[in-house]
Structure 1
Amino acid sequence: MLYNLHYSNKYNFLPLLPKLLGVNHLQEPVQRPHGFPVFQWFYCVKGQGEFIINGQRSIISKGQGLLIYPHISHSYKGLTSDWTVHLIGFGGNACTEILQTLHMLESGVYHFSNSDIFPTHIENLLYLSQRNITEKETELSKACYSMLLDLSPCIRQIHNTTATYENELVRKLIDYMEEKYACDISLNELADYVNLSKEYMCNLFKHTMHQTIMQYLQTVRISRARIFLIQYPEKHVAEIAHMCGFESPSYFGKVFKKIAGCTPDNFRR
Structure 2
Amino acid sequence: MTSYFYPSHNDISELPVYVCGIGIRQPENPVKRNNAYGFHQLLHCIKGEGKVITENKKYNLSGGTIMFIPKGTAHELVPLQDQWQLFTIDLDGSGIEALLEALKLSKVRCETLADGDKFTRKFLDIFNLCRQEGSVLPWESSALAYDLLMQLHRDINIKGSNSDGQKYNQLAPVIQYMEDNYPSDMTLDKLSAMIDISPQYLCKLFKECYKMRPFEYLARKRIQQAKLMLIQEEYSVNEVSQLVGYNDCSYFCSVFKKHEGISPAEFKAVNCSSEEKLP
Q: TM-score, structure 2 length as denominator?
A: 0.52
Asked if structure 2 preserves the Cα contact closer than 8 Å seen for 1:112 and 1:156, the reply is no
**What's the counterpart of residue 170 of structure 1?**
none
CA distance in 2, matches of 1:151, 1:58: 18
Query: For residues 169-228 of structure 1, what are the alpha-carbon distances to aligned partners after superposition, in whole Å with 9 as ceiling and x for unaligned?
Result: xxxxxxxxxxxxxxxxxxxxxxxxxxxxxxxxxxxxxxxxxxxxxxxxxxxxxxxxxxxx
Q: Is the 8 A contact 2:46 2:64 kept in 1?
A: yes
Pair 133,4 (structure 1): closer, same or farther in 2 beyond 3 Å: closer
- CA RMSD in angstroms comes to 2.3
The alpha-carbon deviation at position 147 of structure 1 amounts to 0.8
Q: Are 1:98 and 2:99 matched, yes or no? A: yes
Q: CA shift at 1:7, angstroms?
A: 2.7
Which residue does the alignment assign to 1:43?
Answer: 44
Give the match's secondary structure for 1:123: helix
Per the alignment, in what secondary structure is the counterpart of residue 116 of structure 2?
coil
Question: When the two structures are aligned, how many residues end up with a matched partner?
Answer: 157
Q: Does 1:125 align with 2:129?
A: no
Instruction: Extract unaligned runs of 5+ from structure 1.
Output: 159-269
Within the alignment, does 1:143 sit opposite 2:151 as a pair? no
RCO higher in 1 or 2 (8 Å CA, sep ≥ 6)? 1
How far 1:130 sits from its partner (Å)?
3.3
* Structure 1 residue 134 displacement after superposition: 6.4
Identify the residue that residue 115 of structure 1 maps to in structure 2.
116
Q: Are the structure 2 counterparts of residues 135 and 8 from structure 1 closer, same or farther at C-alpha, using a change threshold of 3 Å?
A: closer
Quote how far apart the aligned CAs of 1:82 are: 1.0
Distance in 2 separating the partners of 1:155 and 1:127:
25
1:34 is paired with a residue of what secondary structure? coil
Which letter does structure 1 place at the counterpart of 2:36? G
Per-residue deviation, 1:88: 0.8
Could you say what secondary structure the match of 2:111 adopts?
A: strand
Aligned equivalents of 1:104, 1:115: Cα separation in 2 = 18
Tell me the residue number matched to 2:228: none
CA distance in 1, matches of 2:62, 2:135: 39
Match of residue 75 from structure 1: 76
Show the counterpart of 2:200.
Answer: none
TM-fit CA distance, 1:136: 1.6
- Mean CA deviation greater in 64-73 or 25-34: 25-34
> Per the alignment, do residues 130 and 76 of structure 1 end up closer, same or farther by CA in structure 2, a change over 3 Å counting?
closer
Read off the aligned partner of 2:111 and give its amino acid letter. Y
Could you list the structure 1 runs, at least 4 aligned residues long, displaced by more than 3 angstroms after superposition.
Answer: 130-135
- Cross-structure match for 1:84: 85
**2:135 & 2:48 partners in 1: Cα distance?**
39
Distance 2:3 2:131 in 1: 13
1:18-61: CA deviation from partner (whole Å, max 9, x where unpaired): 111113x3124211112310011011111111111121112222
